[in-house]
Amino acid sequence: MKARESRVQTVMHVNLCDGGTFLETLPEQWTRQYIGCRGINGRLLLRDVKPRTEAFGPDNVLLFGTGPLDGTPVGMGRISVACKSPRGTLAEGSCGGFFGPELRRAGIDYLAIRGVADHPVYLFVTDGRVEIRDASRLWGLKTNETDAILREELSDPNIQFRYIGPAGENLVHASPIFGNLNNSGGRAGCGQVMGSKKLKAIAVRGSQGIGIADYDGFIKAYKTFRQKVDIATSRDPWTPVWSTYGAPILPRLFSGLGNLMTRNAREMRWDDEKTVSVNAEIFMEKHVTKAKACFCCPWPSCQKLYEIRSGKHQGFKGGNYWAGQPITFGSLIDNDDLELILVLSGLCNQYGLDIFHVGYTLAWAMECFENGILTSKDTDGMELKFGCRDKEGLVDLIRKIALREGFGALLALGCSEASKIVGKGSERFCLAVKGQELEGVAQRSMYMVALGVAVSEVGPDHTRWYPPYPCNPDLISREDLDQLDIRLDLRKAFQGRNPDEKGKLLRWFTISRAVVESLPSCVFLIRDTLGLDLRPWWNLFTSATGLNVAYEEFVMAGERVMNLDRLFNVREGFRREDDRLPIRMMTEDVPYFGYSRIGPGLLDRMLDEYYQENGWSLKTSIPTRTKLNQLKMGEIADELEACGVEVET
C-alpha cells in the first residue's frame, strides 16, 4: 500500500490558458507556521495574487486547499476554497464532504488554478497529475445533473467532485462551489471566479493512504476528541440536538430570544405557530429520509436527505436543511410553508446559488415593494410581499436569478448592488456588509456577533468565530484558563449586551477557529471545551505529522491566519471604515427586549478593543510592524510597504 505523510505539503499549479501544470513542494516551515488548509491558502493568495488583480481575470488564483489532517478521521473531509472576491475582498470558505481526502490521496494538498480557459473545461486529477478535459456538454447543467453525468461517465464510485451550477457560470453574485450534491462553500465569490475561468468541475481519484507519524499517540488523542463530541459523553448542551435534529433546531430558540431575523429583520421574533412549523422537529417527522455525514464525522446526522411526500412538489428531493434556510426562506420573508422552503433551498443547491444572497435580496425586494420603490412592472408582474402568496412565482424566480432572466437579473446582483441601481432610499433595506448579505446571527442582542459581522474580512461569516458563545464557564477552571493564557473575564464576555471583553472574546474565537479550520476539522465539532482548550487539536496535529511544535507556536498559527485575512483586505484598500454593520442594525431599535440599535460609538468602542488586542492600528486596522514581527511575518510588512500601504510601528 502506498502511503503519504503530512509534514510537507504540495501545491499543484494549473494554468487554464496554456494547460501548463507543475507541482510545488512547500517548505516544512509553512506547515509549522500556518498549519494548512485555510492558513496556507491565505499565505498562497498573498504570495501569488497581486493587489488590484481583476477578480474575473486570468491572474486571480482559485485555490482548493486540504491540510495535514485531511484524510484522517479528524479532518472531516473539509477543504478551504479561496480566491480574490469580485467585491474586492478576500473570498474564503470552508466546505465538507469527501473531496479533501481524495485530493490528498492523489498526493496533492492544494490546487492553485489560474488563467481562463477558452471553452468550458473540467480537471481530472489522479496521483500527482492533472488533465484538463472538455466540459462543453456539462456547461449549463445544474449541480445534481453534473454530478450524475460525471459519475456515470467516469464510473468509479469513489471519484469525488467539486462543481458549480448555472449561477456560477453566469457569475451570479455570491455563487458558492458545490460537491457531494449538497455541500457548498465559498459564498464570498469562489463560485463566480470558478465560472469566470470556464472551469465547470474538478474530479479527483487518488491511490495513496494517509500515513500517521505516531499512530498510538493519534489514537489516544482521537479518543479524547471523541469524548468531547460524542452524544453520550459530551458536556456541551448542543451536542445531542445538533448531531441528530441538526441546525434547523435554531428558529424556535432564536425567536424566543428575539434573535430571529423576521421580515427583513424589521422584527426579530416570529409567530410561535409559524416558527414551530419550519423547525427541525416537524422537518424530521415529515420530510427526512436519511442521515448523511461528511468523511468520518462522529455525529449521526448533521446532514440529511429529504423528500417532499405530498402536495404540488411531491417527489422533490434535496438535502441539507440547515439553520440558514428556515430563516432566509422562512421568517425573513414571512413564509411558514416548510415545503416551499425545502423546494426553494433545494433549487438553490441545484442551480448553484447562495441561500443568503437569494433570501436577503428577496426580503430587500419585498420591503422595497411594500414601500412602493419597486412595483409589479419591475417584478415581472409578481406581487412581491412578505407572506409569499405567489409561491410558484418564487420557485420560478430561483431559476431566473441563476440565469439572470427578467426580474432575476436585478436580484442576481445581490441587494447591495441592486440597491445602488434602484436608489430611492432602498439602501436602508439592504442587509449587507462589504457587499455581502448577512447570515442568520443576530447583532443587536449579541454584541460579540455584531463585532464579528462587522470585522469579518470576507463579509459576514459567522463560521469564522462559530460557535459564538463560550462553553459553560463552569467547565473550565481559572487555573486552566491562566495556563492556556486566555486572559478573559469569561462571565463578562458571556454577557450578550455588555460591550466589554467582546473584542478580546472575538479575538480568541477567531484565532481558535482559524486553527481548527487550518488543520482542517469542522467547526461544528467545537464542543465542550474544544473552543477554549486547543490541546486536543494540538495532540492530533503533532501525532499525525510528527512535527515537534510547541503548543504556543500551534496557537500562534491561528493568529497568523487571522492576520493573513486582514492583510489581504488591507492590500486591496479596505480599512477600519469598512468594518461596519448594515444601516438597519445601526439606526433601528428592535421593538422589544430593549435591544437597541448599535450606534457608531458603541461599535467603535468594540472595534478599538479588538484592534488593540490584535496589535492592529486603531486608525486604519492595519496590523502593525510590531505585531507582524512578533508573529515572524516581518517580510510581509515589507511587502505591504512596497505596495504603498502605511504600516505603523
Partner 1 sequence: MIHLDLRYVGHISAVTGILKEEYQTNASILIELIEELERKHQGFKGVFVNGETGRMNLNAMIYYGTEGEVPLPIIDPYHPIQDKAILTFW
Partner 2 sequence: MKQIYVIEDLCNGCRLCQTFCSSLVSGVFDYDSEDVRINVIKVPGEERDIPVVNCNGRCARPIFVEDCPTCVSVCPTGALVYEEQKDVVLKRLELEEARRCQSLFKVVAPWKWPFPWKRKSVGAK
Q: Which one among 53, 244, 495, 498 touches partner 2, defined by CB under 8 A?
A: 244
Strand, coil or helix: what is 161?
strand
At position 96, the amino acid (one-letter code) is G
* Distances from the Cα of 1 to the Cα of 98, 282, 283, angstroms: 21, 47, 44
Three-class secondary structure of residue 46 per DSSP: helix
Strands 90-95 and 79-84: antiparallel
Residues in region 533-592 near partner 1 by CB under 8 A = 592
At 257, the amino acid letter reads L
CB-nearer residue toward partner 1: 234 or 620:
234
Q: How far apart are CA 611 and CA 619, in angstroms?
A: 9
Give the footprint of partner 2 on residues 34-93 (CB under 8 A): 71-73
Stretch that binds partner 2, among 111-119, 195-203, 237-245, 248-256 (CB under 8 A): 237-245
User: What's the closest the beta carbon of residue 592 comes to partner 1, in angstroms?
Assistant: 7
Per the listing, cell 412592472 goes with 377
Q: Tell me whether residue 152 or residue 474 sits nearer to partner 1 (CB atom).
A: 474
Q: Which does 236 bind (CB under 5 to 8 A by kind): partner 1, partner 2, none?
A: partner 1
256 binds, among partner 2, partner 1, none (CB under 5 to 8 A by kind): partner 1
C-alpha cell belonging to residue 374: 419597486
Task: Name the strand (E) or helix (H) holding 79.
Answer: strand 79-84
Per partner kind, with CB cut-offs from 5 to 8 A, the member of partner 2, partner 1, none near residue 152 is partner 2
DSSP character at residue 470? P
Pick one of partner 2, partner 1, none as the site partner of residue 622 (Cβ within 5 to 8 A by kind): none
Q: Which is nearer to partner 1, 149 or 276 (CB)?
A: 276
- Residue span 491-530 as binding mask against partner 1, x where in contact by CB under 8 A, dash where not: -----x----------------------------------
Distances (CA, A) of 427 to 187, 477, 486, 591: 22, 47, 40, 21
CA 133/CA 147 separation, integer angstroms: 16
Binding of residue 276 to partner 1 (CB under 8 A): yes
Site for partner 1 in 468-497 (CB under 8 A): 472, 474-475, 496
Q: Measure the CA–CA gap between 381 and 384, rounded to whole angstroms.
A: 9
Burial (CB count <10 Å: 0-12, 13-18, 19+), residue 472 = middle
629 is a contact residue toward partner 1 (CB under 8 A): no
d(CA 512, CA 533): 9
d(CA 481, CA 324): 33
Per CB under 8 A, does 219 bind partner 2?
Answer: yes
- b/e map 603-628, b = 16+ CB within 10 Å: bebbbebbbeebbbbeebbbbbbebb
Q: Which of residues 238-267 bind partner 1 (CB under 8 A)?
A: 238-241, 244-245, 249, 252-253, 256-258
Cα pseudo-dihedral 592, 594, 597, 600, rounded to 10: 180
Which of partner 2, partner 1, none has residue 630 at its interface (CB below 5 to 8 Å by kind)?
none
Binds 421: which of partner 1, partner 2, none (CB < 5-8 Å by kind): none
Instruction: Rule CB under 8 A: say whether 346 interacts with partner 2.
Output: no
Scan residues 198-217 and list those touching partner 2 (CB under 8 A).
Answer: 207-212, 215
Q: Which is nearer to partner 1, 237 or 425 (CB)?
A: 237
| Helix 634-642, helix 551-571: angle, nearest 10 | 0
> Does 599 sit near partner 1 (CB under 8 A)?
no
Grid cell listed for 242? 445538533
Instruction: From the list partner 2, partner 1, none, pick the one residue 300 interacts with, judged by a Cβ distance below 5 to 8 Å according to partner type.
Output: partner 2
- Select the binding partner of residue 319 from partner 2, partner 1, none (C-beta < 5 to 8 A, by kind): partner 2
C-alpha distances out from residue 430 to 19, 442, 540, Å: 42, 15, 43
Using the rule CB under 8 A, which residue among 29, 232, 642, 649 binds partner 2? Answer: 232
| Interaction site with partner 2 (CB under 8 A) | 1, 3, 71-73, 101, 105, 144, 147-148, 151-152, 157-158, 180-182, 207-212, 215, 219, 223, 226, 230-232, 240, 243-245, 284-285, 288-301, 303-305, 317, 319
Q: Which residues bind to partner 1, rule: CB under 8 A?
A: 234-241, 244-245, 249, 252-253, 256-258, 276, 279-281, 445, 472, 474-475, 496, 592-594
